[in-house]
Amino acid sequence: MIKPHGADELKPLFVYDTDQHHALIQEAETLPSLLLNSAAAANAVMLGAGYFTPLPGYMNLADALSVAEKLHTTDGLFWPIPIVNLTKDSSVQAGNRIALRDPNVEGNPVLAIMDIESVEQVSDEQIRFMAEHIFGTLDEKHPGVAVFTSLGNTLLSGPIQVLNFSYFQTDFPDTFRTAVEIRNEIIERGWKKVVAFQTRNPMHRAHEELCRMAQERLGADGIIIHMLLGKLKAGDIPAPVRDACIRKMAELYFPPNTVMITGYGFDMMYAGPREAVLHAIFRQNMGATHFIVGRDHAGVGDYYGPFDAQTIFDEKVPAGALQIELFRADNTAYSKKLNKVVMMREAPDHTPDDFITLSGTKVRQMLGQGIAPPPEFSRPEVAQILMDYYRSIGG
């Protein structure tokens, strides 16, 4: 099986030992508390689940700056995005042991216990430096920039012990899976070559066919559809609706034991190329051997070129830094000439009129009006779930 990133074995920071877990829960009630922001809480969940192997906790400022600028930590670990605990609370001191509380669950239960190795003040200039390297822009209209630059200027670093998986395990019991659980299921299914597909949206016909193409061309045993379950920008379709759409599509249109539907607890950053590399790392950690990267992967608006998330692997990822391999996808659309979904670059004899393409805005308008997109674009059963959703929110 493919090795985790930077380690021989997965390093989840969740405390699985029952006695130790119980003792830490009791200890947490005696410790000073810090209410995390959602970004830091999502990082804790990913660290706990093993997706961020081999990191032992939150990065210090030197590592965060090095990762932002050079894509590696000060000790040389390849990593594309700083994994940090930025806060506006300046009362924490180095050497403290604190309870990290969850901002996304009622009552703010303890999410993790952290040993504070350092407390560093980050200048506005350093925040902007990191943001510009991560997102490629400082435009406050970029949702990732807006979040990152508002987290605070106090950076807490050190190892953590994770005690729960926030709301993801309770709200998505059939979908949320840790990297540990996914690796175990890959072994149970007997899969050797595994393709991962990232999504934060319901899957249209083009996405479905892209997974099928990747599986067939790579000779893969199975596909892991791995959906983001955390916070999105306003207007994106909520996770329960996406989950229902994807499950219906897989149930009706894929053979049994070829698709694993799972999700992970992270907030979308919309960091385009850098986020695509992070996606590749945690897909390797969960046991996938191949990862689909398509057009405008993890992008938003027009901040990134359509295939920047592919070229970064050629330009910024050192040879041998990752074991997972890319499946590079072009724009996919239904060909009226061939009566099937194709990659546009593989149909050089086609004109734009030979494809059925619809903008996201147009699709949302149709669904909001109770009009199903054409079956060449969206499976009717999936379209019905989406129409019901839009009807429930008043279009």
CA separation for the pair 283, 325 (Å, rounded): 10
User: Secondary structure of 56-113 in the HEC alphabet?
Assistant: CEECCHHHHHHHHHHCECCCCCECCCCCCEEECCCCCCCCCEEEEECCCCCCCCEEEE
Residues 299, 302, 306, 307, Cα dihedral to 10°: -60
CATH architecture of structural domain 18-169: Roll (3.10)
CA separation for the pair 69, 232 (Å, rounded): 26
Active-site residue (options: 189, 201, 247, 328): 201
pLDDT of the chain along its 395 residues, tens only? 999 999 999 999 999 999 999 999 999 999 999 999 999 999 999 999 999 999 999 999 999 999 999 999 999 999 999 999 999 998 999 999 999 999 999 999 999 999 999 999 999 999 999 999 999 999 999 999 999 999 999 999 999 999 999 999 999 999 999 999 999 999 999 999 999 999 988 888 889 999 999 999 999 999 999 999 988 777 778 888 999 999 999 999 999 889 999 999 999 999 999 999 999 999 999 999 999 998 889 999 999 999 999 999 999 999 999 999 999 998 888 888 898 889 888 888 999 899 988 777 788 888 888 999 888 889 999 999 999 998 888 75
Task: DSSP letter for 135, please.
Answer: H
Tokens of 27: 């200890």
Amino acid letter, residue 91: S
CA distances, 157 to each of 40, 66, 86, 198, 231 (Å) = 11, 15, 9, 29, 23
The number of residues making up the chain comes to: 395
**Interacting residues of 324 by C-beta distance below 8 A, sequence separation 6+:** 2, 280, 281, 283, 284, 288, 289, 290, 291
**Contacts by residues 107-111 (CB-CB < 8 Å, ≥ 24 positions apart):** 108/35, 109/164, 110/25, 110/28, 110/29, 110/33, 110/163, 110/164, 111/36, 111/41, 111/44, 111/45, 111/162, 111/163, 111/164, 111/166
Active-site residue (options: 128, 200, 247, 364): 200
128 catalytic per annotation: no
Neighbour count for residue 118 (Cβ, 10 Å): 14
Classify burial at 295, counting beta carbons within 10 Å of its beta carbon; exposed 0-12, middle 13-18, buried 19 or more.
middle
Determine contact, residues 276/298, Cβ cutoff 8 Å: yes
pTM (predicted TM-score) = 0.94
174-392, which class in CATH? alpha beta
Q: Checking DSSP bridges between strand 340-343 and strand 332-335, what pairing results, if any?
A: antiparallel
**Interacting residues of 350 by C-beta distance below 8 A, sequence separation 6+:** 335, 337, 344
183 catalytic per annotation: no
Determine contact, residues 176/169, Cβ cutoff 8 Å: yes
Extents of the domains making up the chain: 18-169, 174-392
